[in-house]
Structure formats: C-alpha cells, structure tokens
Structure 1
Amino acid sequence: MKSTGNKKLVVFIPAHNEEANIASVIARVPRDFHPKYDVKVIIIDDGSTDRTVEVAKEAGADVVHSFGKNRGLGAAVREGLRQSCLLDADIGLMIDADNEYPPEQIPEVVAPIMDREADYTFGSRFKGSIAGMKLHRRLGNYFFTLLQSVLLRKWIYDGQSGMRGFSREAMECAEIIHDYNYAQVLTLNLLRKGFRLQEVPIAYKVRTQGQSFIKFRQYVNSVIPAIYKEMKRPALRGSSLARNQQVRETSGQQA
C-alpha cells in the first residue's frame, strides 16, 4: 500500500483453523470509511493446520504473521498488538476470525478513539443485539463480566467481546500475562493503568461454520488464576518509549 500521509488503522485478526470464515471477515472490513485513515488488515495465524493462511492471503490480507505451532489466543492478541505497533498504527482494532462479529461496524467501534473520547473500546454485544448464543455461554459471559466490574468498580456490559479498539498508547502499554486467553486480563490491565473504556453496541451472531476453542473447565482453570495474578501486579502505566524499546528488543531476539 502506497503511503498517503494519512494516519493508519490496523485491523488485526487472530486466527486458528478458520479457513471457512476468514475470507468473509477480511472482505467485510471497510477500507475507505475515513478520509484521514488508511486501513491495513493483518492476520495472526496461531499455528493453523488447515488452509487459513492461504485463504487469508487470497482474500486480500496485507500481512500474515504465522506462529510455528498453536500458542493460544492470548499469545495471538499480544502479537497482534506488537505487529500493529511495528506497522506504526495510530489505532488498532482486533476482531475475531469466526465471523461472529460485524466488520461493518469497525468505524463505529473506533470512532470514540478517533474523537479522543476513549483509549480502549469494546464492540458490545450486550448493549447491542445477540443472535444464537446458548444459555451456558451467556451465563459465562455474565459471570466473568460481573467479576471484572467488581474488581474494577466500574460497570462493564461485555467483558469478553472479541471486537476491541485501541489507541496507540493503549497498544504500547497493554500487557497480556498468559497465552490461553486475553479478555479479562487485558481489560483489568488497561483500566487499572487509567485508560478510558467505552462500549459501542454491535450486532452479534453466533458462528455457523467451524468450532470454538473454548472448553469451560479449561477456560475457568486458566482464566481465574490469571485474573488473580493480574490484580496482584502493580498498575503502572509504562511510557511509549519503554514499550517501543521492548518491541524492538523482542523483534531482534526473534529475528
């Protein structure tokens, strides 16, 4: 993509074995919705064993970064934030690859960040509409969202959303302390550091193809200890300079 002098929005999509859904998600990402922002789409392939990578490239992804083996959604989101910073994004937008979240609503989800009203945004299913979510998943979402609300002393509607926007500083300062998942620890990390959250209503529809990685017992056994660990850590808002230095050092180690 030729440089236009515009700001940059990087849409990053963590994906593991999503060959049936990834092309549709990429095709639906709005590319020209704002005259001052250029949009790039990058895929963080979490060790897929199907044709996810090939399909993503054919569908028009600008960058595909692949792990050699499956590392977990938390690791993939962490890498998406890192790659967005390396691409010099002004704003990052993460969206799941399962075709459940509406790419058409990306402009709405990032609007509070563009307007400097928020640093961190959710595409909020529970402030919008939900189609097809089973009762046990709905109850799980309620529980973990309530837990975050209690710990942060701030009411949150959708703490497990798979569609999130980030300012540049939020991306630079975000820390995800475990590889399995990211949702709760990332929000606790950023809000405890003083970043402003805003939730934007979206229309959500449960996937019709592919299979979720989430297994309830493994999810609880992984997430609860991570929440405890995150709450025990000091909430220090690191500088952009320090975060960029960490990015460069990590990149050099992996080269």
Structure 2
Amino acid sequence: MKKRKLVVFLPAHNEEGNIGPVIARIPREMGRDWTVEVLVVDDGSADGTVAEARRAGADHVVSFAANRGLGAAVREGLAGCLRLGADIGLMIDADNEYPPEEIPNVIAPIREGRAEYTMGSRFKGTIRGMRLHRRVGNICFTILQAVLLRRMIWDGQSGMRGFSREAMEHADIIHDYNYAQVLTLNLVRQGFAMEEVPITYRVRVHGQSFIKFRNYLGHVLPAIWREMRRPAVRRGSAARETLPPAGAPTAGRGLTAKVEREQRYG
C-alpha cells in the first residue's frame, strides 16, 4: 500500500533563535501508512535560520534571495507541498509560539474527512503572554472575517493551519505582505469545509514579529477588499453550486501554474 504524505512547512525570516526547537518537536510518526517531511521557506533571512533548520532536521529548504513577505512565503510553501506530493499540508510559524506536538490534532479533521482546511485556534484553546493590543487586534480582524463570511470564526489570524491537497491546489493568496485573512476568505468562499481546533499558544521568547500596526492596516484591509470583490468558483465539499464547465474562466490564479516554477531544494 502506498503511504500518504504530510508535509509540514515553516515560513521563516530571521528565526535563527526559534526554528530549531520547532522543527525538532514536529512529530514524525503519524501511523504506519503516513510519512512526514519538513519544508522550510526561508524568506531572505540574514542570520543563521537556514543552518539551524538543517541542523534540526529539515528535509527541504527553499530560499528567497531577498525578503518578499509572509504571504509570498506561505504561497511558496503551499506550492512546495504540492511538488513534494503531499496529501496534507500543515503550516506552522517558525517563531516557536505554536505547538508542534499538536499537529496531529490540527490535521485530524482533514484525515477523517470532516474538513479540507483547518486552523489551530488560540481563542478556543489557551493563550499565554499575548499583550492586550495584540489580543484586541486579533479579535477585531477575526470579527471582520466572520461578518464577511457570515459564519462563526474564533481565530482568524492563526499561524498554524492544515490543508487538504485540493485546498492547496486552489488556494490563492493575492498579496505578498501577509496571508491570514485573505487565505481564509478565499478558501471558505470557494466552499472548502473549515474547522477550528483548540491549541496551546505562548508568545515568542526570541526575536520580534514583523507586524507593525499601520503597515498591517495599510496592506491587509485593501487586500481583503480585493478578495471580496472577486467572484469565487465553488469547488470544495461545502459548495452547493455546480462546478463550471471545462474551459470556463476561474476566479483566481490558484497555485496550479506556480507548481511548475523551478525551485532548488537544499
């Protein structure tokens, strides 16, 4: 019997002090019918992020020559999962705030066929050390997504997410700065079934977040507006509409064309 594959990918920018422990804690046993590989997308780091990732056991590393943004790194991570033949992809931040030990829980709804897109939810689980202004910002952006999608969402900014292969094939991140809001809007509007899984979260000890409030608003709000103005082709299991006929135009770029881009793996 052919084994199925989980690819865990980590977008990383200057995470030398954090990425090693994250990779070392990623479970490599998911059952005898599964294999697990780790992919790091180095977003133009100027420190020892790549060396630490390889030392900790990363199976694949893709490096950008310069910093392109978290959205671009996640886009490349999803495309990399497809190139590597992943049946399920799991994204986890490299900052050591999210629990690698709980990866099996986050992908369980996908393995069991209940969902095609999952998010590790801090607000359904436990949070340690998050400052008040960050908590308020997370809640506000999550409420905005919930209103736009007309469904309950607990944690729209989570840095730990699981994807079925079909969800990875059709995910479309329309800006390079970030991914969190537009990715959820894109996949849920296409009809991919989403489930949130409680996780344990603690604020980073080393390094600093790239997020600055004014820059975040200036990039994210226009991207949300652009995403919501685009027509959505209904594809996922939650879709009630029929698929368009062969050859019909689709809403987004998706990742199909991007899979063909050549990347050098280390």
Task: Please indicate the TM-score interval, normalised by the length of the shorter structure.
Answer: over 0.9
Pair 1:191 & 2:202 matched: no
**Seq. identity, %:** 64
Q: How far off is 1:237 after superposition?
A: 4.4
Contact 2:99 2:199 in 1 (8 A): yes
Contact 2:170 2:255 in 1 (8 A): no
Identify which of 214, 217, 226 aligns with 2:223. Answer: 226
Pair 1:47 & 2:58 matched: no
- Give, in whole Å, the separation in 1 of the partners of 2:158 and 2:256: 29
User: Structure 2: any 5+ residue segments left out of the alignment?
Assistant: 236-242, 244-249
Contact 1:149 1:156 in 2 (8 A): yes
Q: How far off is 1:247 after superposition?
A: 3.3
Identify which of 237, 245, 250 aligns with 2:261. Answer: 250
In structure 2, do the counterparts of structure 1 residues 62 and 249 end up closer, same or farther at CA, with 3 Å as the change threshold? closer
Three-state SS of the structure 1 residue aligned to 2:35 is: strand
Q: Which amino acid aligns with 1:247?
A: K
Contact 1:170 1:190 in 2 (8 A): yes
Hey, what does 1:124 align to over in structure 2? 121
- Give, in whole Å, the separation in 2 of the partners of 1:118 and 1:80: 20
Q: Which amino acid aligns with 2:12?
A: A
- Give, in whole Å, the separation in 1 of the partners of 2:115 and 2:79: 20
Pair 1:63 & 2:74 matched: no
- Give, in whole Å, the separation in 1 of the partners of 2:70 and 2:84: 21
TM-score if structure 1 supplies the norm length? 0.94
Q: How far off is 1:37 after superposition?
A: 1.1
In structure 2, do the counterparts of structure 1 residues 139 and 106 end up closer, same or farther at CA, with 3 Å as the change threshold? same
- Alpha-carbon displacement from aligned partner over 1:89-134 (angstroms, at most 9, x marks no partner): 0000000000000000000000000000000000000000000000
RMSD: 1.7
Hey, what does 1:90 align to over in structure 2? 87
TM-score if structure 2 supplies the norm length? 0.90
Contact 1:173 1:237 in 2 (8 A): no
Hey, what does 1:146 align to over in structure 2? 143
Three-state SS of the structure 1 residue aligned to 2:74 is: helix
- Choose between structure 1 and 2: higher helix proportion: 1
Identify which of 66, 71, 74 aligns with 1:74. Answer: 71
Hey, what does 1:157 align to over in structure 2? 154
Pair 1:166 & 2:163 matched: yes
Three-state SS of the structure 1 residue aligned to 2:192 is: coil
Q: How many residues matched?
A: 248
- Alpha-carbon displacement from aligned partner over 1:22-44 (angstroms, at most 9, x marks no partner): 00000000001322210000100
Hey, what does 1:236 align to over in structure 2? 233
Contact 2:30 2:36 in 1 (8 A): no
Identify which of 67, 92, 99 aligns with 2:96. Answer: 99
